[in-house]
Amino acid sequence: MIPYLMVGIGGFFGAIARYLVDRWIGGRMGGLFPYGTLAINVSGSFILGLFAATITERWVVHPHWRLLIGVGFVGAYTTFSTFGYETHQLMEEGSFGLALLNVLLSVAIGLIAVRFGILLGRMG
């Protein structure tokens, strides 16, 4: 029962963080391109990379923390389902260049963010 509670608590806060970040960025950047989703995908990749490296290489943590943060928070915070939907919407609207840009930026910058998170997590 406790593992489900940990995932649920983390998911609650991750979903709220996702909503707040998306509204904040979207309000400043406009709606032509899904900047909020891109920022969430990249920052979520960084957070997961940092957390994973830290708990596997620097600190010993209780497995419940992995569920709370890695599965719950980051799982609810990242938005790859939204990413897929918004990319599809761009294609339906005929904005194939923006759709491709969204895919390339999300994947490439997300991978770079994971790497930086891992490197930061490994720093002593």
pLDDT at residue 9 greater than cutoff 90: yes
At residue 1 the predicted structure's pLDDT band, cuts being 50, 70 and 90, is very high
- Between 57 and 73, the higher pLDDT residue: 73
Count up the domains in the chain and report the number.
1
Q: CA 70, CA 43: separation in Å to the nearest integer? A: 13
pLDDT at residue 124 greater than cutoff 80: no
What pLDDT digit, counting tens, does each position of 62-111 carry? 999 999 999 999 999 998 888 998 999 999 999 999 999 999 999 999 99
Show the tokens assigned to 62: 């209780």
79 is in an annotated binding site: no
Neighbouring residues of 113: CB distance < 8 A, sequence distance ≥ 6? 42, 43, 45, 46, 49
Q: CA 104, CA 100: separation in Å to the nearest integer? A: 6
78 is in an annotated binding site: yes
* DSSP one-letter string for 17-55: HHHHHHHHHHHHH-SSS-HHHHHHHHHHHHHHHHHHHHH
Domain with 113, as residue range(s), is: 2-122
Neighbouring residues of 72: CB distance < 8 A, sequence distance ≥ 6? 6, 7, 8, 9, 10, 11, 12, 13, 14
Predicted structure pTM score: 0.82
